[in-house]
Structure 1
Amino acid sequence: MSAIIEIDRLSFRYPGAERDSLRNVCLTIEEGDFVAVIGGNGSGKTTLCKTLNGLVPHYWEGDFAGEVRVDGVDTYESSVASLSSTVGYVYQDFQNQLVRPRVRDEVEFGPTNFGMADYAERAQQAMEMLGIAHLADRFVWQLSGGQAHLTALASVLAMRPRIIVVDEPVAEVDPAGAHALYERLTELNQVHGITVIVIEHHAEFIAQYAKSVVLMDDGAPVWHLPAPQAAARAAELASHGIPAPQIVAACEGLDLAAAPRTVDEAAAVLRTAGARQRDSWAADAAAGSASQPTVAGTNPASTEGDTHRPVAVASAVSHGYRSVAGDLLPVLSGVDLTIRAGDRVALVGGNGAGKSTLMRLLCGLQVPRGGSVTLDGIDTKKSSATKLAEHAAYLFQRPEQMFLKDSIRADVRLFPAGRGRDEADALVDRVLDRVRLSDFADRDGRTLSGGQQRRATLAIGLAMTPSLLLADEPTASLDVASRDSVIAMLDELSGAIAAAVVATHDMHLVAEWATRVIVLGGGGVLADVTPLELFSSDSLLEGAHVVPPQITALGRALGIEPAPLSVSQWREAVALADASEPVEVRA
């Protein structure tokens, strides 16, 4: 193989920045590779990849030094337009790259602009590959976040570039669709020889699909290694905030020739090693103590005297949106749902199932076309969204949409000060301290890292002192350390709010935080269950477009009852006999 990307002594600094975002980067990527670029938020992953299609430095100007060559072309001497036929890029803020009114128009846009006679065939093939052909005539503003992400990728695939870069491939895509998306990227790589580069935080996808891994830290590659060698550096990866996949953690202590890459491989290894269910786990399960997630920091007294009171009630709720032609496109139909004090609810379901719509209805940002919603006993049709904001806080899917002022302190203070609440400044100080952002209080929220932005939106919501907190994809696009921080933060809020609802595709969040899961599909509620009940039902998993956490799937494969929901539960549930000889993992 020959090199298709050559980077030599590359450095880059954004205007006004105090230090370089990229520092003396030297990197070579061979044609036909499938590369995962990993590292914590702010390590330089996205900036590095934006040099490959010329966005840095032609769009994002700054101090640029060194050389980037793509298929022999110096990107500094080229242009974004000319590079786009070689490098297809799906951005982290993919919504901003959708420029045409309908899905079909969007996917045809690139090939049409380049004068390709088979533009319609290319677009149809790309949409079918990603399972969105049925959305071809849908307007892009009608799409869910996951559907919009797939549309952006389809528009890139229609160009059939030699290199595809995808920043956070599974962001806002339902778990089943995430694996299907990686399978499609693998097919493009193996069958069509396209070089694939992904910026990824999910170790399980890296281990299963990548051929090589680039670890970034502080603006430079730490190393670029074949995937098996990268996986073997578990301790080093963990020190960079990238813990091993759950199936690798489950095999800790075994003398393995190579780390397992799939649940099936891990199950085979553990059977050979004599894995068995602990008697104590079976006894705990019989007593019911293992039926719910074990969550540190829960404050069961947070709703004492208030337990189980209805906080929000949806009765026979139906809702939909008008198309430009005036047709009503239904999203929800006849939904009955009660959120009670003490509930920690995860809304799950496939892309377009209505999760975000339901949350906006529950908090009164929208009112249902049919049926009713009451919030703290108030009919949302009979009260303004401004008044209802005193009872419910809705945290948007994109944190930057919640930053209206020039500092986090001002954003957090906006609601309580606007309501004339006494000691608003003291409240703001307490909230900022609670979310560990006191040191960043005077920073503009748009300049913070992804994890800090999520914490800032939680602060804005907390300062509203709501009964009900609703968060839309609160862990999307976060590295593992930031994701775990947000999960812990949500856990800690149990003493400050009556109930919380999150819409999520993050099954770790579901397993480790939620006590109740609402599965949406077909316009209604398919199930109202515990996390364990969801992950134990094949029919529910299929209907919800959900894939259980690796550790839960591994427990089921080995017949562990009940299946563990976290690595810590796995260690409580499973005993390992010493294998008589090293266990070989076959690729």
Structure 2
Amino acid sequence: MSLIEIEHVTFQYPGAAEPSLNDVSLNIEQGDFIAIMGGNGSGKTTLCKLLNGLIPHYYVGDITGAITVDEIKTLESKVTDLSRSVGYVYQDFENQLVRAKVIEDASYSPLNFGYHDYLERGKTALEKVGLIGKDEEYIWELSGGQKHLLALAGAISLEPKILIVDEPVAQLDPQHAKELYDVLKMLNEKENTTIIVIEHHTEFIAEYCKNVVLMSKSKIIWKKSVREGLTRVNELREKDIFPPQITQAAYSLTEKEDSTLPITLNEALEYFESYQAPEHNQIFLQQTVQKIKEKIVDIQNVDFSYKTISRQKKKILNGVNLTINKGDRIALVGNNGAGKSTLMRLMTGIEKPEKGEVLLKEMNTKEFSPEKFADMVTYIYQNPEEMFIDDSIKADIEYFLKARNVKDYAIAVDHIIELFQLREIKDRDGRLLSGGQQRRASLAIGVAMQPLLILLDEPTANLDIGTRKHISKFIQSLKDEAEAVIIATHDMQLVAEWANRIIVMKDGQIIHDGNRETVFSNKALLDQAGLTPPQIMEISRLLGMKLAYSVEDFVKYAENFGEESAYSGNYKEAARVY
């Protein structure tokens, strides 16, 4: 008998026009490390909520079929009966942190189950996830990555046989994402915990998982080994899922879809080794001289701190100097807790610097209320639903223009609705839209304010790869709608393809301000900031090729490589090997 057996399950939420799961069957064995892939709305999260009894005991609806988890019939059991066997880290993991201090939260579940050693269980869980020495810290003092690890510690404090993690890396910087996956790997290999992840990032699936499930339109299409699943390039693309970049590149060069395609970086090194370039083909790293530009924002020697519950100050920004110019498309990067969001809030006037000055068009934010800068700066939140205040997208887009008595605002609104392809959903409530639709709508609301400066906080977080690419196209268009755009993001592919300037932050300071060549070619800088370049960029660097910022770049360089380098025979040999 499998550890998990789902047999012909159909589930439909109340009022929904179609089932969220339609005749779904799936078996998962003890000790598996399995990823659930699929576009937004394909049924991934609904499927996983069957396993801990949240469906149908908490999220009610019409359900048929049978689910057995660790020999427990879930439809006949309570959520508490399953919680010892199934741990769950939700996509909005901060909502499952319920106590004030770290140790209290980590030991909360065993305490409620009456275990006399609940504190020891909590401490053990904290050690497993790498939060040693954080026991007495308050939760709000932790970085986003540390909070995610704490939610994981709470989930494993009962030592469940099954651990489900919904979107493990969606809100994490690359360094913390790897740390979290390393913890999952340890639990799987050393404790035989069955790991189930809902994941859009196929590079992580290739590196860590054993099997993969593809879902589409409320159905399971297949369950396969990771290698077999991720090398089905055309089928995945048809479902708006993108295999690892190295897999895509190898397929583009050979047009052969088989299991010999590389899926990890180490495999790609061997696969593409014939493309290695001589040293003189390395990219030229010197920055070009910048022309004097018109200033929009001038940040001068700024410090910012907030008071903790113990009345001590925690410094977030330390001696920051920065100028934002007209025409800048800036990617603000760095690990969780580096100070990116705080720096952007200072530019809105919502926060005031503890020390130093923030000038917007030479106006000091200390001397005016935030409302004074509302015409100049738009801040688009990481959670797009926070942008919706009315009962329709059109009304939300109109709101600012109507409040400012802008003449002929209807013409501007109509242009924006067309620009962001919102015509079909303009009369719907933004809070009820899908993640990708909400992102589009929030961008439209921001642009409608007609600002000089647009600030976006993690605009592609929590989106599947296909939707991320779609949203990235809309972000590209923002350069025509504002004098400057700043994006705080962990999405290195968006950074590589969009930004003309990259600002790297660490521990509240700017440690580099340059372009994509100076950032992505500097391995020491990337390591210092906890950043991971896109996979295709890393393989081109390791192979000594010209730095490729996209799969298309890599394929073009590889195809022309034999003509450009001293190894003119290598490309033909590589083609023969393929």
| Aligned-partner Cα distance in 2 for 1:137–1:204 | 36
After superposition, residues 10-25 of structure 1 pair within 5 angstroms as: 10-25=9-24
> In structure 1, what is the equivalent of residue 271 of structure 2?
269
Contact 1:147/1:352 (8 A) holds in 2? no
| TM-score (normalizing by structure 2) | 0.93
> In structure 1, what is the equivalent of residue 116 of structure 2?
117
What amino acid sits opposite 1:530 in the alignment? N
Cα deviations by residue, 1:91-123 (Å, 9 ceiling, x for unpaired):
111121111112222112112222233333332
Residue 528 of structure 2 is aligned to residue 543 of structure 1: yes
SS of the residue corresponding to residue 368 of structure 1 reads coil
- Displaced runs of 4 or more, over 6 A: none
Contact 1:307/1:341 (8 A) holds in 2? no
The alpha carbon displacement at 1:136 in A equals 3.5
Residue 559 of structure 2 is aligned to residue 564 of structure 1: no
Cα deviations by residue, 1:297-354 (Å, 9 ceiling, x for unpaired):
xxxxxxxxx9821111211111111111211111111111111111111111111111
Contact 1:348/1:503 (8 A) holds in 2? yes
| Aligned-partner Cα distance in 1 for 2:146–2:166 | 16
> In structure 2, what is the equivalent of residue 331 of structure 1?
316
Residue 457 of structure 2 is aligned to residue 472 of structure 1: yes
Change over 3 Å in CA distance of 1:460–1:328 after alignment to 2: same
| Aligned-partner Cα distance in 1 for 2:445–2:179 | 36
| Aligned-partner Cα distance in 2 for 1:134–1:362 | 35
Contact 1:231/1:259 (8 A) holds in 2? no
| Aligned-partner Cα distance in 2 for 1:402–1:338 | 27
Change over 3 Å in CA distance of 1:507–1:12 after alignment to 2: same
Moved more, 214-223 or 412-421: 412-421
> In structure 2, what is the equivalent of residue 81 of structure 1?
80
Which residue among 552, 574, 577 is the counterpart of 2:572? 577
Question: What percent identity do the matched residue pairs reach?
Answer: 44
| Aligned-partner Cα distance in 2 for 1:278–1:63 | 64
The alpha carbon displacement at 1:421 in A equals 1.3
| Aligned-partner Cα distance in 1 for 2:58–2:456 | 33
> In structure 1, what is the equivalent of residue 249 of structure 2?
250
> In structure 2, what is the equivalent of residue 424 of structure 1?
409
Change over 3 Å in CA distance of 1:147–1:464 after alignment to 2: farther
| Aligned-partner Cα distance in 2 for 1:221–1:257 | 22
> In structure 1, what is the equivalent of residue 68 of structure 2?
69
After superposition, residues 517-528 of structure 1 pair within 5 angstroms as: 517-528=502-513
| Aligned-partner Cα distance in 2 for 1:349–1:34 | 29
Cα deviations by residue, 1:352-404 (Å, 9 ceiling, x for unpaired):
11111111111222111111111222211112212211111111111112222
SS of the residue corresponding to residue 76 of structure 1 reads helix
> In structure 1, what is the equivalent of residue 230 of structure 2?
231
Contact 1:36/1:210 (8 A) holds in 2? yes
Moved more, 41-50 or 144-153: 144-153
SS of the residue corresponding to residue 107 of structure 2 reads helix
SS of the residue corresponding to residue 302 of structure 2 reads strand
SS of the residue corresponding to residue 505 of structure 1 reads coil
| Aligned-partner Cα distance in 2 for 1:471–1:286 | 31
The alpha carbon displacement at 1:425 in A equals 2.5
What amino acid sits opposite 2:358 in the alignment? V
What amino acid sits opposite 1:526 in the alignment? I
The alpha carbon displacement at 1:201 in A equals 0.5
Residue 364 of structure 2 is aligned to residue 379 of structure 1: yes
The alpha carbon displacement at 1:134 in A equals 4.8
Cα deviations by residue, 1:148-207 (Å, 9 ceiling, x for unpaired):
222211211222211111110001111022122212211111111111000000111111
SS of the residue corresponding to residue 346 of structure 1 reads strand
The alpha carbon displacement at 1:73 in A equals 1.0
Contact 1:38/1:215 (8 A) holds in 2? yes
After superposition, residues 40-439 of structure 1 pair within 5 angstroms as: 40-252=39-251, 253-254=253-254, 258-271=260-273, 274-277=274-277, 308-439=293-424
Contact 2:299/2:357 (8 A) holds in 1? yes
Cα deviations by residue, 1:481-508 (Å, 9 ceiling, x for unpaired):
1111121111111111111111111111
SS of the residue corresponding to residue 3 of structure 1 reads coil
| Aligned-partner Cα distance in 2 for 1:75–1:420 | 57
What amino acid sits opposite 1:457 in the alignment? S
Contact 2:285/2:518 (8 A) holds in 1? no
Moved more, 370-379 or 34-43: 370-379
| Aligned-partner Cα distance in 1 for 2:278–2:552 | 14
The alpha carbon displacement at 1:4 in A equals 0.9
Contact 1:249/1:567 (8 A) holds in 2? yes
Return 5+ residue gaps in structure 1 as ranges.
293-305
| Aligned-partner Cα distance in 1 for 2:573–2:88 | 47
| Aligned-partner Cα distance in 2 for 1:99–1:287 | 48
| TM-score (normalizing by structure 1) | 0.91
SS of the residue corresponding to residue 182 of structure 2 reads helix
> In structure 2, what is the equivalent of residue 460 of structure 1?
445
Q: What is the Cα-based RMSD across aligned positions, in Å?
A: 2.2
| Aligned-partner Cα distance in 2 for 1:257–1:147 | 37
| Aligned-partner Cα distance in 2 for 1:135–1:431 | 47
| Aligned-partner Cα distance in 1 for 2:247–2:441 | 33
Change over 3 Å in CA distance of 1:125–1:353 after alignment to 2: farther
> In structure 2, what is the equivalent of residue 302 of structure 1?
none
Contact 1:468/1:498 (8 A) holds in 2? yes
| Aligned-partner Cα distance in 2 for 1:35–1:260 | 19
| Aligned-partner Cα distance in 1 for 2:540–2:575 | 23
Change over 3 Å in CA distance of 1:286–1:181 after alignment to 2: closer
Cα deviations by residue, 1:432-466 (Å, 9 ceiling, x for unpaired):
21111111111111221111111111011001111
SS of the residue corresponding to residue 527 of structure 1 reads strand
The alpha carbon displacement at 1:278 in A equals 10
The alpha carbon displacement at 1:578 in A equals 3.9
The alpha carbon displacement at 1:475 in A equals 0.6
SS of the residue corresponding to residue 412 of structure 2 reads helix
What amino acid sits opposite 2:275 in the alignment? A
SS of the residue corresponding to residue 76 of structure 2 reads coil
SS of the residue corresponding to residue 28 of structure 1 reads strand
What amino acid sits opposite 1:570 in the alignment? F
| Aligned-partner Cα distance in 2 for 1:363–1:337 | 15
Moved more, 218-227 or 140-149: 140-149
What amino acid sits opposite 1:324 in the alignment? I
What amino acid sits opposite 1:211 in the alignment? K
Return 5+ residue gaps in structure 2 as ranges.
562-570
Moved more, 253-262 or 448-457: 253-262
| Aligned-partner Cα distance in 2 for 1:312–1:354 | 17
Contact 1:147/1:173 (8 A) holds in 2? no
